[in-house]
Amino acid sequence: MTYLVTGGTGFIGAYVARDLVQSGERVVCFDIDPNARLLGSVVRPDQLQRVTIVRGDVTDWAQLLHALREHRVDKVIHLASLLTSSSEANFPLALKVNCQGTDHILEGAALMGLEKVVWASSVAVFGPRSQGPDGIVLNDAPHDPQTVYGACKSYNEQMALHYVRKYDLDVIGLRFTLVYGYGKTETVARGTGVDYLTELIDKPALGQGPCVVPYGDDQMDWLYVEDAARAIVLASKAGRTRTKAFTVRGDLRPMREVFDYVRTLLPNADMMLHPGSYRQIWQYDGSVTREEIGYVPEYKIEEGMKRNINMLRQVPGLPLVG
């Protein structure tokens, strides 16, 4: 089975590529700016031979169609997008990459008769009007995006349903919460709007400081990258599901608690926690995701954070923690 993974050398994509090749699949990483270094740090050298890197742009219809045909692709995992703050800074480019690019993926899959498309949506499709009386957002809650990025993902979910109805395309969208892990710095540089993770994790792990961590009054749903990748692979191998977009949860924990845990791992870190809230809803129901694709988060914040910090410290040869 051959998978084309857009954004396949990026943060989440590298872990997806690793998990797919470990299960015996062949992977084509389709990326506008391939990051072979990150991919090589996640995928074992003896398994990289099952990965092909193709430089390409999802907004270029001819490039995408050529890659699907040349590599005899069976399934697509679409992770390429213009991220949160970059989308806010450039509305036209956000529409081109996030909306038109995803339309190209869906149209190409329908035209080529591919078996399945799994694509990255986001909890950014939700907003205050999505919450139930108990404050929890159900999987089928009404959309209420508060950002350009969220509006693009909401559009994508509707277009995916159109391709299901009109072409019987097998499509699953996955709405991720706050994904963290080794390699996140790559997406921060591309404008994720979560540069506070660098202050909380990367800089302390590498002995840099001072580190100012905001949002000390908030709680967040912390989704470790290996859980996110596992959810994608599960969705890609699932049969046809009744639901076409799923919320993928992690571990709901207060920022203060996570900050304190990082301090226990790195007692000499020059860190300070500032008050405030991120103004994002973080309580989501994951029962539909569990029932239909079999995903349940495995990583609590302690294990995920420890793995993240130790992978960062391995690069310059610093002693491991915990």
pLDDT along the chain (322 residues), means of 10: 97 98 98 93 94 97 98 98 88 96 98 98 96 94 96 98 98 98 76 80 95 95 98 98 98 98 97 91 95 98 98 96 91
pLDDT of residue 109: 98
pLDDT of residue 46: 93
Indicate if 139 and 59 belong to the same structural domain: yes
Indicate if 133 and 261 belong to the same structural domain: no
Return all residues near 303 (Cβ < 8 A) that are at least 6 apart: 224
- Domain holding 203, by residue range, is 180-220+251-279+299-314
Indicate if 307 and 164 belong to the same structural domain: no
Indicate if 135 and 257 belong to the same structural domain: no
Indicate the helix (H) or strand (E) that contains 304: helix 301-314
In a domain, 320, yes or no: no
In a domain, 31, yes or no: yes
Number of domains in the chain: 2
DSSP designation for 252: E
Indicate the helix (H) or strand (E) that contains 179: strand 178-180
Indicate if 76 and 136 belong to the same structural domain: yes
pLDDT of residue 279: 78
Q: What is the rounded end-to-end Cα distance, in angstroms, of the chain?
A: 39
Indicate if 138 and 186 belong to the same structural domain: no
What is the rounded distance in angstroms from the CA atom of residue 1 to the CA atom of residue 183?
27
| % helix, strand, coil for the chain, step of 5 | 45, 20, 35
Q: What is the CATH number of the domain that holds 206?
A: 3.90.25
In a domain, 287, yes or no: no
What is the rounded distance in angstroms from the CA atom of residue 247 to the CA atom of residue 44?
30
- Quick count: other Cβ atoms within 10 Å of Cβ 265? 17
Indicate if 113 and 163 belong to the same structural domain: yes
In a domain, 216, yes or no: yes
Measured in degrees and rounded to the nearest 5, phi and psi for residue 274 equal -105, 150
Indicate if 200 and 188 belong to the same structural domain: yes
Indicate if 122 and 202 belong to the same structural domain: no
Return all residues near 41 (Cβ < 8 A) that are at least 6 apart: 14, 182, 183, 315
| C-alpha neighbours within 13 Å on the C-beta side of residue 109 | 31
Indicate if 147 and 268 belong to the same structural domain: no
Nearest to 156, CA basis, from 91, 244, 241, 31? 244
CB contact burial 21-53 (16+ within 10 A = b; e otherwise): beeebbbbbbbbebbeebbeebbeeeebebbbb
Indicate if 128 and 24 belong to the same structural domain: yes
In a domain, 289, yes or no: no
pLDDT of residue 191: 53
What is the rounded distance in angstroms from the CA atom of residue 25 to the CA atom of residue 143?
35
In a domain, 292, yes or no: no
C-alpha 6, offset from chain centre: 12
In a domain, 286, yes or no: no
In a domain, 56, yes or no: yes
Indicate if 113 and 187 belong to the same structural domain: no
DSSP-based three-state secondary structure for 265: helix
Q: What is the CATH number of the domain that holds 27?
A: 3.40.50.720
What is the rounded distance in angstroms from the CA atom of residue 62 to the CA atom of residue 20?
26
DSSP per residue, 213-236: E--TT-EEEEEEHHHHHHHHHHHH
